[in-house]
Structure 1
Amino acid sequence: MAVTKDVKEKIASLSKDELVKIVLKSISKDKLFLDYIQLNYFKNDLNENDIFEEYKQKINKLIYKRYKGYADEEKAAHFITACNKELANFEKLSKNYELIVALILLVLEKASSDFDAGFGTCFTAFDYKFTLLLKKVIRIINTKMHEDMKIEYSQEINNYLKAIKENSAYLDYVYELPKEI
């Protein structure tokens, strides 16, 4: 919902005490908003690296959650979905693409190594979600980051591309992936 001119005028007319109450109520209900306020307005309290470490811990904790599913591929797909929510929240707070890429690569690494999931099985949800994250990291590296970063991350990403293309190339969304970056 867009903030209209009328709403802006009404907010501007509120007293400082009312605004403080509103902000305190909002940050007590929404941890993301609290992190945003701390990151952008309280320079000494929190920085992007602190938030990165916090989200890294959240992703590491998500591995130990019990996910629905008979096969490891299903469980890994649910893990990636849960991690996507954390990634989206982190992206709302930080525009540091190096940290975003590092978190995405952490999720890809955990999904491919901590579950006994494999590519190319009949449980294609894992392949699909893994591919979406892989496309996202490739897009960020190609469009938002300096060429040196592409060199830094290329081997790891190319390994993932090779692994998924060797086993799941029959899926359209995998077939469309580049062979390497």
Structure 2
Amino acid sequence: MSSLRILLEGNDDQRFIDNVIVPYISQIKPSMILTIKYAEERKVDVDKTIQKFDAKNHKYILLEDYDSSDDCITLKKEDLIEDFNHLNKDVIFIVKDEIESWFLAGMNTDLEIFNEFEIPDDTEGITKEMFNDMMKNSHFDSRIDLMKEISKSYDFDLATKRNNSFKYFIEKLVKILN
């Protein structure tokens, strides 16, 4: 059984990994996926964690939102490498724009529970605020409930068509675990 550590930012990222990615990966290859929320940690502590992963030859990735205010993905990665001196650019995965865009990418609006949503063909520009606005016009009272429902019927084929950063992540993730 292979294992992978995923450094991620926050609770919504955690929900996505736990409820969408872990079940998907377990179908492809039995794997143990451990998540670590790094955004609230001191940078020096995160860098020490990365050093430990490298010293023990642990497989790991870092997941970071792009956010529309960022200049480009390359500069975003360079900023992260500046923050965490021992981080390798090959393990950085950028969610474009935010994790909510990945949730919506896999939402099948043909299902009755989601038929009130209109999801664009390209979700890479979706922000947390846009996600919340879409939810306001639905029967969902809670964004967490909506995320859980999306996770239950997540459509990976649809998601890889609607979001290139998600497609890239899935393709690379499968290679990392093999």
More helix by share: 1
TM-score by length of 2: 0.23
Higher RCO (CA-CA < 8 Å; seq separation 6+): 2
> Which structure has the larger Rg?
1
Which structure has more strand as a fraction of its residues?
Answer: 2
